């Protein structure tokens, strides 16, 4: 029987470090529930000592999520480790994950420590964590640029101190696949007690090689991979969980390993991460991109119609995609809608279903045909959206080639109904100016994009904005058949996220 690869999902921790991808406690819990459906082995829920909000998020998941290991990150000091344990101690299977850099460049410029000091601190910290649990992971930060013999020395020492998982990260995404595989093989052959621990890897995607490096590490003996849904993460992101899992599954003939991931939940998981963070995957993204199973060339279409495997190496159903468009419209009932939402991977309360159904009926009166993407946008608005300090009630815009762009809107701000108007360079600029005047905010717009959710002239517009205020950067997302209204919703979503972050930081 093939060896199992442990899937360590760090979407809630490393993935959240993507600019603007901060999640609140409800969003993190909902995503953790989906990760359980996906059947990941370990959920890294956060960095408990980082903030009160992060501690509460980790504790909430550890206390309530079952059937999965829950990990908390900690630097190699007693304060961090104690905080991690306080957040994790009621988990069904808690894991303390502590880390320390081992590369010369990090030791010299960041830690201001020599090798002997790093070795001593690593051992001391793992021993302290071992007072709480036997499930301890130690990561050698920037390991791929470290002296391999020193990494072997540190790993051997922390195994003896109680570590059960050794993580070898390519922190800067610097390694090449053949090189990284050779490094992992060297570790497997030169750590005397390696049979007492699981070798793990954590690869970043700065050169676009995170998945390739992870696969090379598996071939060399690694049995845990740290990854994120949609490849979310710092800078260029991390190993994309869906790509790693489907590569292992599709090329089982060469990999000779397996995961326990329920692949039919991949599509729903990807959509949920997009909905919560507002960070879309590019259309040509492997596995979960909008074009991943699309065929436009005539030759390809002809081949797929005759035999799917001529141009598809994976079955779309294997990642949770259904064939054909959903048939839902204004005459569809609550039961049919609920079934469709459940087939998409969402479990809603009766109150949430009622709210979604109300919005569904409103949109179905405008659109001729409803698609999964339309339902996703409704779910984001009605279920996944954070509490609204600022809420749009109505918006009217005047614009044209010989008309001064003007926006007039009505909003609820902290429970009060207010009205305002502004002129701008264009209708969206006027709308944003009116919102800024009413909310008395001075946020800077860093990025603006608009896309069509589905085809057709009645398609919903999906607007994504990135805004900055006093050093905090957030993403806002809004959808509506009217693009200007969608833009207003996205801007307000971003402002509401800023309010939430400011409350959490106090």
| Per-residue pLDDT tens digits for 269-311 | 998 898 788 788 888 899 998 778 765 444 444 554 566 667 6
- 100, 75 contact by CB (below 8 A): yes
Q: H helices within 43-114, ranges in order?
A: 52-64, 78-88, 104-106
- 463, 448 contact by CB (below 8 A): yes
Regions of the chain short of the pLDDT cut 70: 19-20, 294-309, 311, 322-328, 330, 343-345, 367-369, 372-373, 377, 380-386, 453-455, 457, 504-506
Can you list the positions of beta strands (E) in 155-311?
165-170, 198-203, 224-227, 257-258
The predicted structure's pLDDT at residue 17: 81
User: Rounded to the nearest 5 degrees, what angle is found at the Cα of 53, between the Cα atoms of 48 and 55?
Assistant: 25
Pairing of β 94-101 and β 69-75: parallel
The predicted structure's pLDDT at residue 410: 96
Q: Is this structure's pTM higher than 0.75?
A: yes
The predicted structure's pLDDT at residue 227: 98
Pairing of β 472-480 and β 461-469: antiparallel
Which domains, from first to last, does the chain contain? 3-277 (3.20.20.70), 298-384 (1.10.238), 390-505 (3.30.160.270)
Q: What is the pLDDT of residues 77-94, one digit of tens each?
A: 999 999 999 999 999 999
User: How far is it, in rounded angstroms, from Cα 370 to Cα 271?
Assistant: 17
User: How far is it, in rounded angstroms, from Cα 204 to Cα 210?
Assistant: 5
287 DSSP 8-state letter: T
The predicted structure's pLDDT at residue 352: 83
User: How far is it, in rounded angstroms, from Cα 502 to Cα 500?
Assistant: 5
The predicted structure's pLDDT at residue 301: 46
At residue 204, the 3 state secondary structure works out as: strand
């Amino acid at each position: 029987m093939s060896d199992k690869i442990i899937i360590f999902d760090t979407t809630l921790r490393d993935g959240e470090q993507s600019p603007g991808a901060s999640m609140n406690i409800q969003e993190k819990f909902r995503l953790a529930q989906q990760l359980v459906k996906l059947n990941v082995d370990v959920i890294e829920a956060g960095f408990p000592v980082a903030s009160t909000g992060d501690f509460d998020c980790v504790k909430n998941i550890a206390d309530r999520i079952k059937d999965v290991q829950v990990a908390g990150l900690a630097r190699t000091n007693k304060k961090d480790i104690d905080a991690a344990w306080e957040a994790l101690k009621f988990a069904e299977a808690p894991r303390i994950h502590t880390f320390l850099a081992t590369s010369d460049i990090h030791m010299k410029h960041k830690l201001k420590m020599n090798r002997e000091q790093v070795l001593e601190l690593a051992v001391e910290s793992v021993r302290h964590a071992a007072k709480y649990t036997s499930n301890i992971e130690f990561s050698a930060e920037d390991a791929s640029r470290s002296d391999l013999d020193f990494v072997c020395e540190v790993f051997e020492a922390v195994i003896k101190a109680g570590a059960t998982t050794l993580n070898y990260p390519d922190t800067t995404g610097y390694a090449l696949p053949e090189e990284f595989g050779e490094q992992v093989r060297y570790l497997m052959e030169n750590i005397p007690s390696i049979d007492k621990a699981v070798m793990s890897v954590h690869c970043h995607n700065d050169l676009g090689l995170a998945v390739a490096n992870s696969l090379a590490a598996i071939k060399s003996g690694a049995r845990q991979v740290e990854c994120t849904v949609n490849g979310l993460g710092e800078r260029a992101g991390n190993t994309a969980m869906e790509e790693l899992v489907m590569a292992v599954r599709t090329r089982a003939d060469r990999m000779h390993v397996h995961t326990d991931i329920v692949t039919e939940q991949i599509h729903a998981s990807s959509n949920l991460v997009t909905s919560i963070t507002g960070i879309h995957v590019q259309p040509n993204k492997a596995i979960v991109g909008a074009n991943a199973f699309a065929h436009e060339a005539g030759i390809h279409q002809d081949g797929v119609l005759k035999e799917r495997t001529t141009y598809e190496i994976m079955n779309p159903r294997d990642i949770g995609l259904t064939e054909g468009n959903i048939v839902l419209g204004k005459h569809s009932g609550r039961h049919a809608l609920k079934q469709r939402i459940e087939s998409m991977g969402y479990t809603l309360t009766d109150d949430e279903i009622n709210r979604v159904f109300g919005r569904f009926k409103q949109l179905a009166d405008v659109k001729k045909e409803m698609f999964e993407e339309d339902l996703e946008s409704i779910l984001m608005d009605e279920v996944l959206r954070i509490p609204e300090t600022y809420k749009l009630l109505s918006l009217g815009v005047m614009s044209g080639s010989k008309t001064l762009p003007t926006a007039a809107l009505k909003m609820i701000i902290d429970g009060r109904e207010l009205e305002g108007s502004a002129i701008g360079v264009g209708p969206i600029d006027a709308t944003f100016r009116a919102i800024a005047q009413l909310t008395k905010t001075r946020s800077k717009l860093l990025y603006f994009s608009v896309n069509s959710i589905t085809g057709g002239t009645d398609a919903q517009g999906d607007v994504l904005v990135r805004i900055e205020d006093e050093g905090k950067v957030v993403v806002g997302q809004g959808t509506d058949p009217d693009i200007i209204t969608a833009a207003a919703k996205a801007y307000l979503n971003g402002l509401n996220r800023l309010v939430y972050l400011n409350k959490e930081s106090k």
